[in-house]
Structure 1
Amino acid sequence: MLVRFAYLAVTHAFGMLRLLPMTDREKDVEILALRHQLAVLQRQLGDRRPRLWPEDRALLAALLVPLGRAALRRLRLLVSPDTVLRWHRNLVKRRHVRASMSRGPGRPRTVASIRRLVLRLAAENPSWGYRRIHGELALLGISIAPSTVWEILKRAGVEPAPLRVSVTWADFLRSQAKAILAMDFIETVTLTGVRQYILAVIHHASRRVHILGTTTHPIHAWVTRAVRNLLMDLEDAGHLVRVRFLVRDRDAKYPALIDEILSGAGVATVLTGVRMPRMNAIIERWVRTLRAELLDRMLMWNEAHLRHALREYERHYNLHRTHRSLAAAAPLRALPLVLEPGQIERLTVHRRDRLGGILHEYQRAA
């Protein structure tokens, strides 16, 4: 565009030199001839608009705008005077933009890492407003205006003002995972046609499972005894001091006495909403795993057979089964050291079967 504009400008400059020796009468005659040619062209075009290159618009804007709007209206042009004025405004705007770019950037954009840090602080601290986040950034040595923090949060769809004080149920579970146990009943039927009720507890943080027992009649006395045994096992293992909450549903199988027993041990009972299993999602997900890996794959002859299978599965789950939430470790077993390439080539793996081959466990050879 710049080359064509320069060519047109030089061509018209020489054309202006050609006008110097002409008399006023000759110029008037030429103007009348050009007007007539323009009228013929407009008559042929009709409603169609002429095609003008960007450099044509720039040249017309530069030549005609100094005449003013009134003078432009007296001229016979292919386009309206308002169009010429708009071309001139666009030309001036582009010139200012280029000038500002040559002077250097204006207000710099916020560094992407700072934006990510602001959003991280807002996500990890729901009660912080943009002023509190700005103060924390200042403590970290990051100089940024409070209005910039406000703008970052607003663009990300996060409320900048400290109105995010309500803690969601998911946030509560994540923040208190080390102190939470979840309890639930699982129903199954043996080959004898007897319905069995399994009572299990899982620790949110470690994913360790405690299968408290199975019975055909989950009376209040049986449930109370199972909860007492759980507390004694946790106390013997030194884990009771970390447990502060037990999440369960509102099943009538739970007696009110167990809440008093748990309260005496410093454990508060948290009841889920009515027909809201997602509020106890950790244990519900484990129940699904138990059914998929054991109950739906193995026929249980009677209650004694079911108890044996549950004991084996509890050992397998706690000592061998991997978990994504634990970075592929098991609840009671850490990951081994990573093997070197040369060790992998010499590696020998043994398989151990549980429950007649229903469960497989793989270990390195000694």
Structure 2
Amino acid sequence: MIVSDTFIVYSSNFKQIFRVVFFLHLGSRQILHFDIHTNPTTKWMRKVLKFAIRKQKQAGKKFHYFLSDNDSVFGKRFTKYLIRIGIKHKKISFHSPWQNCYAERWIKTCRNEFLDFFIPLNQYHLEKKLNEFIHFYNNHRTHLALNKDSPVPSPVLKPPPGAKLLATPVLGGLYHIYSYKKVA
């Protein structure tokens, strides 16, 4: 199942309002795709979903259910599009964000661990840094629901004899990725 939602981010001068849409795979908690727009429409949302589905098909994955809130971009035309491509659209009840709790939790994580420390200058700046955060989230951030693994599993590294611990900064040093480097 794929869950989706949108959230708002303001630019540094508060003159631009960006709406971020994301698609989260429920089982793995992996962010499959995101996009940013200042005035999203149903047509734009279909295009973004089509791109996300294409990426999943290339990875050999399929999904049959799509969960969203009752935002106008997920309206009747969007539901008809999903039916046409063989996906069942499930909508949550009005004023019931807890029914889409995985999407809401990801928005909270994104705000607490990233947006509270970052003010975008423009859409390009937000897209670049959000892409970096999502890469970190998918590949390195641990999740209790996944037994302290990341959405994209990685092997546990054991230090080789005489290895040095190397810290690679992410998002300007907000986070770090740790690895081992052999010392000759």
**Is residue 192–residue 302 contact of structure 1 (8 Å, CA) maintained in 2?**
no
- Structure showing greater radius of gyration is 1
Aligned to 2:58: 236
What residue identity is the alignment partner of 1:202? L
- Deviation of 1:253 (Å): 2.5
C-alpha separation between the residues in 1 aligned to 2:81 and 2:73? 16
Structure of higher RCO (CA pairs closer than 8 Å, 6+ residues apart): 2
- Deviation of 1:261 (Å): 2.4
> What TM-score do the two structures reach when normalised by structure 2?
0.90
**Is residue 66–residue 90 contact of structure 2 (8 Å, CA) maintained in 1?**
yes
Aligned to 1:285: 105
Aligned to 2:167: 351
What residue identity is the alignment partner of 1:227? L
Higher strand share: 2
C-alpha separation between the residues in 1 aligned to 2:181 and 2:85? 44
Aligned to 2:35: 213
**Is residue 139–residue 154 contact of structure 2 (8 Å, CA) maintained in 1?**
no
User: Structure 2: where are the runs of 5+ without partners?
Assistant: none
Say whether residues 1:184 and 2:40 are aligned partners.
no
- Out of 48, 69, 73, the residue aligned to residue 249 of structure 1 is 69
C-alpha separation between the residues in 1 aligned to 2:120 and 2:167? 24
Higher helix share: 1
**Is residue 68–residue 74 contact of structure 2 (8 Å, CA) maintained in 1?**
no
**Is residue 223–residue 255 contact of structure 1 (8 Å, CA) maintained in 2?**
no
Aligned to 1:158: none
C-alpha separation between the residues in 2 aligned to 1:235 and 1:197? 26
Say whether residues 1:276 and 2:96 are aligned partners.
yes
Q: Secondary structure at the match of 1:275?
A: coil
User: Structure 1: where are the runs of 5+ without partners?
Assistant: 1-179
Aligned to 1:135: none
TM-align CA RMSD? 1.8
- Deviation of 1:244 (Å): 1.5
C-alpha separation between the residues in 1 aligned to 2:97 and 2:160? 44
Aligned to 1:71: none
- Out of 285, 293, 317, the residue aligned to residue 137 of structure 2 is 317
- Deviation of 1:201 (Å): 1.0
Figure out how many residues of one structure are paired with residues of the other and give that number: 181
C-alpha separation between the residues in 2 aligned to 1:329 and 1:346? 26
Q: Classify 1:302/1:316 alpha carbon distance in 2 versus 1 (closer, same or farther; 3 Å).
A: same
Q: Secondary structure at the match of 1:318?
A: helix
- Out of 62, 81, 87, the residue aligned to residue 261 of structure 1 is 81
C-alpha separation between the residues in 1 aligned to 2:34 and 2:119? 21
C-alpha separation between the residues in 2 aligned to 1:306 and 1:211? 15
